[in-house]
Structure 1
């Protein structure tokens, strides 16, 4: 199984799931938001120029992602 990089900022309760090679920093060409009414939050899908899904931004992450993922995520805020 491939390692997936996940970052989390508890201050803003946002996580990002990277779906690319960790050595590559692709640029997002398009972002498509999911309907926040249906999911009680916001999830954005980022695509590169070729239309490949490169990442998923999850707002209100603590209510959308399993706790073990957030605990193991790379922290972008000051850890308490």
Structure 2
């Protein structure tokens, strides 16, 4: 089973679910925002130049993602060091 890389910035309350090979740097060429009214927070889908989904950004992450996922994520804020 592939490992899923998740980064989390508690200060910004933002998480990013990486859907690419961690050894390969992939750049987003298009972002599709999901309707914040319907989901109660902003969720952005990032796609590469070939139209493949490469990542999911979740704002208001502590209300949208399971606690265990945020606790085990790679921390990007000062509290995670």
Taking structure 2 as the reference length, what is the TM-score of the superposition? 0.96
Q: CA RMSD in A?
A: 0.8
Taking structure 1 as the reference length, what is the TM-score of the superposition? 0.97
- Would you identify which runs of 4 or more consecutive aligned residues in structure 1 move more than 4 Å? none
Structure 2, unaligned runs of 5 or more: none
Deviations 1:32-69 (CA, angstroms, capped at 9, x unpaired): 00000001100000000000000000000000000000
> How many residue pairs end up in the alignment?
80
